[in-house]
Structure 1
Amino acid sequence: MNPAVGLVALVVVSVATAVIGFYGLRISRTTGDFYVASRTVPPWWNASAIGGEYLSAASFLGVAGLILLSGTDALWFPVGYTAGYLMLLLFVAAPLRRSGAYTIPDFTEARLDSRAVRRVTSVVVVVVGWLYIVPQLHGAALTIRITTGLPAWVGSVAVVVVVCLTVVAGGMRSITFVQAFQYWLKLTALAVPVLFIVFALMGNGSAAVAPAAVNPTGIAAAGPYQNISLLVALLFGTLGLPHVLVRFYTNPDGQSARRTTLIVLGLLSVFYLFPTAYGLIGRMFAPELARSGQADAVVLLLPGQLIGGTAGDLLSALVVAGAFAAFLSTTSGLVVSLAGVISQDVLGGSVRGFRLAAVISAVVPLGFAFTTDSLALAGSVGLVFAFTASTVCPVLLLGIWWRGLTDTGAIAGMVTGGVLCGGAMVSGSVLGAAGTPFWLAQPAAWTVPAAFAVMVVVSRATKRRVPRTMARVMTRLHTPERPLVTER
């Protein structure tokens, strides 16, 4: 690929993001605009924005890379990512919207009437957000290095700069416009090149090779435990992602939140067809990318390798633009959610505090990205999902659906899940991929049940700490809002 073409694609998507973000500044005036877009985002617009921020580096690059490496075993990733939203629809979306909270710590404090729970939840949410931002910066670094030849750090810095500008400019209102645009850009950037590739292969009379008939990478298939543990992480982890949950606060009511989730399921189902196609095509026609350690770059390299010429460069430029949009949209969503937490808990909750918190939220993970090596993108994000499923998810599910939850039980469960899953992640990084036992490499199968169990057992042992406000809060969570009736 011509480096100049890739650089132009990066500049164009960055400028477009900044322009749309500054448009949001024109209509962002109140604190509600910055935190939750004044709760006025309609379902289709909000669903597109959720698709924009949820479809991260792991979805755009990592899923195709894992399918190239592991074949059908990697299909658990798109299945889990999409099915997690079904669980959101069933268990979380509408009650969370009815809570009236700005952030997840707001919800836990209101539900359990405890400042201590709020502080612990805030720490966990910030850790989850920073862990999730780091793979986005690694993906940007990989894209810059592969497509332009520039130093890898340029990609990470570019993402942080653009995200800070757009978030500081208009907060949630601004980012909603940006992320909705970026979902459709990402979908187009994957769909158009893969269709050209398919037509080119058909025109060349290339013989189709069944993916199951070959194992070009020589990687052993994952066992039942790994698949089950991964699915637990993805299903339950989706319920606790702070940048996704804060989106439901922007809907006008619970009914809109449910409708938003249904639309998201459709958008995700369509999107994941294309990374899957890239992985299968790469497995059949470009297996050398796996052997050379470039599996995560298969989406970036296939158009130029299989089509070539000017057409290949243009299609590659479109893919690069979509990839950079993925890094920007997910990082911006995470920064908005973290800025809301940090601003309210540390900086007083003002618009000025939100802006300062946004810069802090973006710069800290940049330092971690500089000092860490990139794992396989989808695999590293899968570990973040496991951590989220072991910490935020239990307190949300039990807080919404179980009247017996106490502040002591919530804290004990979150700390237990965080320590167990965090310890597994640290052990895996120390031992390396080859030396890590399978139960540490995929810890969700035991860390998630442990967190739930501790939360329930400790709550049972501290029944007297059930808050007096429990009945009122639970009624609010589970009573549907009355639909608005317009006079004629």
Structure 2
Amino acid sequence: MQLNAWALTGIVLVAAMTFYLGHRSSRFASSTHDFLVARRTVRSRRNAAAISGEYLSAASFLGVAGIVLKEGADGLWYPIGFTAGYLALMLFVAAPLRRSGAYTLPDFIEARLGSVALRRCATAFVVVIGILYLVPQLQGAGLALSIVLPVPWWVGALAVMVLVLTNVLAGGMRAITVVQAFQYWLKLFALAVPAFVLCAVFVTSGHNGPSGSLGSPAPPTFPADTTVRVETNVGLRVTTVTPVRVRLPGEADDRIVVWAKGATEQVAEGTELRFAAGTPVPVVSDAASANSDWLRPGRGGVADLLQTYSLLLATFLGTMGLPHVLVRFYTNPDGKAARRTAVHVLLLLGLFYLFPTLLGAMSRMYVPQLLVTGQTDAAVLRLPQAVLPGVGGDILTGVVMAGAFAAFLSTSSGLLVSVAGVVSTDLFKGRVRDFRWSAGLVGILPALLALTMRATDLSLSVGMSFALAASTFSPVLVLGIWWRRLTWPGAMTGMIVGGGLVVAALVLNTISGYTGGWAPWLADQPALITVPVAFAVTVLVSLATPDGKPADVNNVMLRLHAPDPLGFMRDRAVARFGQVENRHRAGRGRHRK
């Protein structure tokens, strides 16, 4: 891979700005109140940009375009679900969660249900969800850097983790708020500019890509003689009789092989495939081959329809259970500001997702070879050079790479702060040095897992994190805020059952991926089963254990739902974190819309 100087420049500039903004903000962080919730003085619009910045992860920046390239109309449910989750969060969770005065999600659960054991259980799931979400961010960073720079893929993963740790250790939430707000606008710019330029080139070239029109029912074809190197073991589905020159790993010469129509050919890692111009593109076995199938939603029948419903349920309810998303609503001054923040996030996400969807559709016409390798997550990085060869393509690739690097940094920062905050307050004494130790410990494990685990489609792996969040924290939040009969045994049982089912599906899906892909669709998207089961178990066990209802439930529910001007909102455990002397200073922070 040749060095792309523009991409390297973009990465260096993003890293420098991230470090500068984080260092500048960290100078004002001196207490645990700063490190956990940025002193609760973040205004709505900045907080919305920061939430969007950390929420738009590698799955959004790279994965959505890759899924659209691969799945077509069915892939559009991902950006819809990712955005719609904030509607549920705004309606049911945001304002009461802020009024609780909690600092972390387990802290809220203890405040509502009064159980330390339940808090410990919630802490365990926060750590699992955070790590499960962090791993694909680091893997995406490695993939992106290895495409545009001549470095091994693990370099990108380690570079992101080191830079994120530097900012988080310096100032926690206070340091990363401005960084994440800046990174949202950078990511929007990094996709919007290439999208407009590439669309202009496409329109002036005759509304047709070199691999054929999307309106054609046939599969895309190779526009020229093409050599494809397969980086992982894949199964390729062939739509027509296909002659191909194959060079196996360790061999010096090619051999001519003819693949039969309708066959699924297993290709080993390291194999080189050479296709003649005009050959229909073979696709990885789970991708849409013909454009007519690519344009039609629900082509897989009932199973595909159920999988779509499962995805929507996971993303719609999973958003409210993601610890790194919820912790940002604790930084608002009051419940009204938290709800206003959620409205702004809906607008910002809706604007952003227009562009990866568009680039994913264009990728099918310009970089169909990614359907052979299975590396469809690289679509937005490969597309500029395919549409605009030369310096223009290099510059656009540099812009996109800068945005991708910002995506890895912003999401990883939010995840690390949220998990470190939970670990430091639940397993340690909640002091600043405890937060820093926790951040260091939490950062090591996902880095090791990213280097050892098999990489999958970013949106698919992140989708499992949403399913776990929806099956564990969503029932506790919704029922805890709106149903006063919820008990801590019911919440704990529902959390363990829902989370256990998702973890079992994840293990089953991982084993299946290494042994031939035999698992049913439920192992890939289990939320359609796990979420209703978790809600049902929570309700039934709560009804059976009325003694587990906290004695002060009426006071807690009043604090959650009373309008802000009535003054019932109180921060929890102020003395424990040594913040009493800082409260007068925090109260003077002016909040602007």
TM-score class, shorter-chain normalisation, is over 0.9
TM-score w.r.t. length of structure 2: 0.80
State the distance in 1 between where 2:469 and 2:181 align.
25
Cα deviation digits, residues 228-279 of structure 1 (max 9, x gap): 0010110011010000000100001111111111110000000000000011
Hey, what does 1:36 align to over in structure 2?
A: 37
Aligned amino acid, residue 319 of structure 1: V
What is the aligned counterpart of 1:242 among 302, 314, 323?
323
Report SS of the residue matched to 1:88. helix
Hey, what does 2:386 align to over in structure 1?
A: 305
**Where do 1:466-485 residues align within 5 Å?**
466-482=549-565
Cα deviation digits, residues 284-306 of structure 1 (max 9, x gap): 33222222322100001101111
Shift of 1:213: 4.0
Q: Does 1:450 align with 2:533?
A: yes
Hey, what does 2:495 align to over in structure 1?
A: 414
Report SS of the residue matched to 1:251. coil
Shift of 1:393: 1.2
What is the aligned counterpart of 2:521 among 438, 443, 455?
438
Hey, what does 2:463 align to over in structure 1?
A: 382
State the distance in 2 between where 1:38 and 1:372 align.
38
Hey, what does 1:315 align to over in structure 2?
A: 396
Shift of 1:215: 4.7
Report SS of the residue matched to 1:252. coil
State the distance in 1 between where 2:176 and 2:217 align.
45
State the distance in 2 between where 1:359 and 1:308 align.
43
Hey, what does 2:332 align to over in structure 1?
A: 251
Say if 1:99 and 1:477, in contact at 8 Å, map to a contact too.
yes
Report SS of the residue matched to 2:430. coil
Hey, what does 2:200 align to over in structure 1?
A: 199
Say if 1:24 and 1:169, in contact at 8 Å, map to a contact too.
no
Aligned amino acid, residue 310 of structure 2: S
Query: How many equivalent residue pairs?
Result: 485
State the distance in 2 between where 1:181 and 1:13 align.
10
Cα deviation digits, residues 88-121 of structure 1 (max 9, x gap): 0000000001000000010000100110010000
Shift of 1:27: 1.4
State the distance in 2 between where 1:480 and 1:339 align.
31
Hey, what does 1:175 align to over in structure 2?
A: 176
Shift of 1:477: 0.4
Say if 1:103 and 1:246, in contact at 8 Å, map to a contact too.
yes
State the distance in 2 between where 1:15 and 1:483 align.
45
**Where do 1:330-345 residues align within 5 Å?**
330-345=411-426
State the distance in 2 between where 1:292 and 1:308 align.
21
CA pair 212-409 structure 1, distance change in 2 beyond 3 A = farther
Q: Does 1:76 align with 2:77?
A: yes
Hey, what does 2:9 align to over in structure 1?
A: 8
**Where do 1:82-481 residues align within 5 Å?**
82-207=83-208, 209-210=213-214, 213-216=217-220, 217=283, 219-220=287-288, 221-222=299-300, 223-432=304-513, 434-481=517-564
Cα deviation digits, residues 294-346 of structure 1 (max 9, x gap): 21000011011111211111110010010010000000000010111010011
Shift of 1:363: 1.3
Say if 2:186 and 2:406, in contact at 8 Å, map to a contact too.
yes
Shift of 1:10: 1.7
Shift of 1:144: 1.2
Q: Greater share of helix residues, 1 or 2?
A: 1
State the distance in 1 between where 2:196 and 2:555 align.
54
State the distance in 1 between where 2:9 and 2:556 align.
52
TM-score w.r.t. length of structure 1: 0.97
Shift of 1:2: 3.9
Aligned amino acid, residue 364 of structure 2: R
Report SS of the residue matched to 2:564. coil
Q: Percent identity at matched positions?
A: 53
Say if 1:413 and 1:454, in contact at 8 Å, map to a contact too.
yes
Quick check: 9-18 or 131-140, which moved more?
9-18
Aligned amino acid, residue 423 of structure 1: A
CA pair 395-186 structure 1, distance change in 2 beyond 3 A = same
State the distance in 1 between where 2:369 and 2:416 align.
37
Aligned amino acid, residue 277 of structure 1: L
State the distance in 1 between where 2:479 and 2:326 align.
16
CA pair 483-402 structure 1, distance change in 2 beyond 3 A = closer
Quick check: 175-184 or 304-313, which moved more?
304-313
Aligned amino acid, residue 30 of structure 2: R
State the distance in 2 between where 1:338 and 1:215 align.
45
Return 5+ residue gaps in structure 1 as ranges.
Answer: none
Report SS of the residue matched to 2:347. helix
Say if 2:367 and 2:382, in contact at 8 Å, map to a contact too.
no
Say if 2:366 and 2:386, in contact at 8 Å, map to a contact too.
no
State the distance in 1 between where 2:387 and 2:49 align.
31
- Which consecutive segments of 4 or more residues in structure 1 shift more than 6 A? none
